[in-house]
Amino acid sequence: MDTATASHTLEDQDREVILAVRDVTVAFGDQVILDRLSLDVYRGEILGFVGASGAGKSVLLRTVLGLNRKQGGSINLFGVDTDKVTDAQRVQLDMRLGMLFQHGALFSGLSVMENVQVPMREYLDLPKKLMDELARLKIELVGLPANAANKFPSQLSGGMIKRAALARALALDPAIVFLDEPTSGLDPIGAAEFDELVAKLRDTMGLTVYMVTHDLDSLFSVCDRVAVLGQKKVLVEGPISYMLTVEEPWVKSYFRGKRARQIDPAALHNNVSAGAVR
């Protein structure tokens, strides 16, 4: 397939695009990191975003979140062009985005409960009792025991820190969460449990998840689609079953190299034909 190949299947056309990145270019000085990159994220899906180290995954994430300048292209969130919003509208958009930074990035001097309340304090004006109640609900939602609420990050395991950070990302009931390598540093069981939690949130709350990851297990077990960043663009996108058929050398070695799983594409449930090489 070539660039002209439609990247959307008929099924995709029926789905709501929650994030549309179109022809986005980002450069630092004369170093171009992203060159007319396009990507759609659909409501209710878990998108795995992969690419070589230094390819620009964090740069794209930061650009989508409005933390990096872009030199060209457009970013639409919930159908709204982020270049055309007022400051007040930008705040409304930000409230619908949750972010889990790499390494959790909890405030070490705050308890789990206080960490979860940080976005509530920033964006909402609620009585303390209600904030406590909401924070407890989020803590329970991510599978932490109730007594974790009063603990500090230094008292938590790596897996608990990730869950607490996820609870904070969910504090304002976002429509989409951005997870930056959420399972890095977790043992395989902890990582699998975290993946299960993310899948549960998608299934029960209809949460949309944009997950930057190097974790092949996550890509195989919970991601509905995968997008591969290479040569400054989204090089390939589609379900994992499709990734296993792609002959592009980096993609092939990533998904079918020595460290990849030995998987029969026919055994995967998602549709091989729904992917595209750009």
Residues that bind ligand ATP (CB under 6 A): 28, 33, 51, 53-59
Q: Which is nearer to ligand ATP, 35 or 132 (CB)?
A: 35
Continuous segment of H or E residues that includes residue 41:
strand 31-42
Task: Tell me how far, at minimum, the Cβ of 50 lies from ligand ATP, in Å.
Answer: 9
Q: Which is nearer to ligand ATP, 30 or 247 (CB)?
A: 30
Residues 6+ apart with CB under 8 A from 23: 36, 37, 38, 72, 73, 74
Q: Which is nearer to ligand ATP, 57 or 202 (CB)?
A: 57
Task: Tell me how far, at minimum, the Cβ of 254 lies from ligand ATP, in Å.
Answer: 12
Q: Which of 237, 239, 238, 241 is nearest to 268 (CA)?
A: 241
Task: Tell me how far, at minimum, the Cβ of 200 lies from ligand ATP, in Å.
Answer: 27
Q: Do residues 172 and 120 make contact, with C-beta atoms less than 8 angstroms apart? A: yes
Q: Which is nearer to ligand ATP, 32 or 272 (CB)?
A: 32
Task: Tell me how far, at minimum, the Cβ of 115 lies from ligand ATP, in Å.
Answer: 23
d(CA 161, CA 144): 10
CB neighbours of residue 152 within 10 Å: 15
Q: Which is nearer to ligand ATP, 41 or 171 (CB)?
A: 41
Task: Tell me how far, at minimum, the Cβ of 152 lies from ligand ATP, in Å.
Answer: 27
Taking the alpha carbons at both ends of the chain, their separation in whole angstroms is 7
